[in-house]
Amino acid sequence: MADSQDPLFQIQRVYLKEASLEQPNSPGILVEQEQPAVDIQLGVEATPVADGIFEVAVTATVQTKIKDRTVFLVEVKQAGIFEIRNLPDEQMGPVMGIACPQIVYPYLRSNVSDLITRAGFPPVHLAEINFQAMYEQQQAQATEEAPRIVTS
C-alpha cells in the first residue's frame, strides 16, 4: 500500500473547455486569391479546483487575415484536471507549467485542426511546443519584472 505522503500525480480528466470560430467577412473574403497571414498565440493557465486538484488549460488563438480583413478566428481552450499531492513547492510550478500542458496540448492541436477543417479551410497544424523552454522563458521574464529593492 502506498504511503499517504508519497508524491501523487494523476490525470482525472482532459476536456474541451471552450471553442469558437468566427468568419466575419464570409462569404466575400473566401473568393480572395491572396495568401492569408496566420497568427497563432498560445497560453497556459493553472487554477486550483480543490485541495490537491488543479485545472490546467492551454489556449490557442489562430487568426488568419488578408490585408486587414479577418478570414477566420479560432479560439480553443483545452483543459485537464490533475490530482497533484505531496510534491515540494519548487516542483509544483514545473509540473503545472510543463508536464500538465504537455499532456493537454495534443488534444488542443487536434481540436484546432478539426474545427478549422470543418469550417471549410485547409487545416492549420500547430507545431510541437517545448513547454519546458516556454516555462523557463516565463520564469526569466518574471524575475526581470520583479520589483527590486535598492538600499543606499
Q: How would residue 123 be classed by pLDDT, with cut points 50, 70 and 90?
A: confident
Note the CATH architecture for domain 10-138: Roll (3.10)
Predicted pLDDT of residue 70: 94
Average pLDDT over residues 42-48: 94
Predicted pLDDT of residue 151: 58
Percentage with pLDDT > 70 across the chain: 93
Domain boundaries, the chain: 10-138
Q: How would residue 33 be classed by pLDDT, with cut points 50, 70 and 90?
A: confident
Residue 8 corresponds to which cell in the numbers above? 501523487
Residue 79 corresponds to which cell in the numbers above? 483543459
Strand-by-strand arrangement of the 69-85 sheet: 8-22, 69-85, 53-66, 37-50
Q: How would residue 143 be classed by pLDDT, with cut points 50, 70 and 90?
A: confident
Average pLDDT over residues 52-78: 95
